[in-house]
């Protein structure tokens, strides 16, 4: 056999091993996520809150309690997360929100939210309809529109 054939076989075997490893890791992480979702659903409660502000900011800059920051992995502390500041009863609290519903949360409005600890999983409007904010057009979309005209 020629050397290029041996190299090709070795690369194929390595690629196959990588695909198998990723498949196994993906299944494990999917099981973990399902268990975490079950725990979140078990401790969920519906509360009424007045949303003061919402931003995507780093966890260390968000004003969350020190215990929450200590529990998060170091890689996540520097990444930007959807943070919501809301008034619940007489207290002003900081919540972490799911990324999918972050854009649909109205600011300066009262909403009913399903909360599990400091994590908002869903929101229903009380005095306002939940109309999602129009997404900002990306550069490439604007460029395509200009070319079409």
Residue among 131, 105, 118 at smallest CA distance from 53: 105
The predicted-structure confidence for 69-104, as pLDDT tens digits, reads as follows 888 888 887 889 999 999 999 999 999 998 889 988
* Both structure tokens of 46: 């519906």
CA distance 97 to 54: 9
Amino acid 135: pLDDT: 66
Work out the pLDDT band at 131, boundaries 50, 70, 90. Answer: low
- pLDDT at 8 exceeding the cut of 90: yes
Taking residues 29-53, what's their average pLDDT? 92
Amino acid 129: pLDDT: 55
Q: What percent of the chain has pLDDT over 90?
A: 46
Amino acid 104: pLDDT: 86
CA distance 20 to 90: 53
- The verdict on pTM exceeding 0.85 is no
Taking residues 12-17, what's their average pLDDT? 97
Taking residues 136-144, what's their average pLDDT? 79
Element (H, E) at 12: helix 3-42
Task: Return all residues near 108 (Cβ < 8 A) that are at least 6 apart.
Answer: 50, 51, 52
Taking residues 9-22, what's their average pLDDT? 97
CA distance 108 to 100: 20
Taking residues 98-124, what's their average pLDDT? 89
């Amino acid at each position: 056999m020629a050397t290029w054939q041996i190299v090709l076989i070795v690369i194929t075997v390595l690629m196959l091993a990588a695909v198998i490893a990723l498949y196994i890791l993906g299944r494990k992480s999917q099981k973990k996520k399902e268990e975490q979702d079950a725990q979140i659903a078990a401790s969920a409660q519906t509360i009424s809150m007045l949303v003061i502000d919402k931003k995507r900011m780093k966890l260390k800059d968000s004003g969350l309690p020190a215990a929450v920051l200590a529990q998060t992995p170091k890689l996540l502390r520097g990444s930007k997360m959807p943070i919501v500041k809301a008034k619940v009863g007489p207290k002003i609290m900081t919540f972490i929100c799911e990324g999918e519903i972050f854009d649909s949360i109205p600011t300066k409005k009262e909403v009913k939210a399903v909360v599990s600890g400091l994590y908002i999983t869903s929101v229903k409007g009380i005095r306002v309809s939940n109309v999602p904010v129009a997404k900002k057009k990306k550069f490439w979309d604007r460029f395509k529109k200009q070319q079409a005209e």
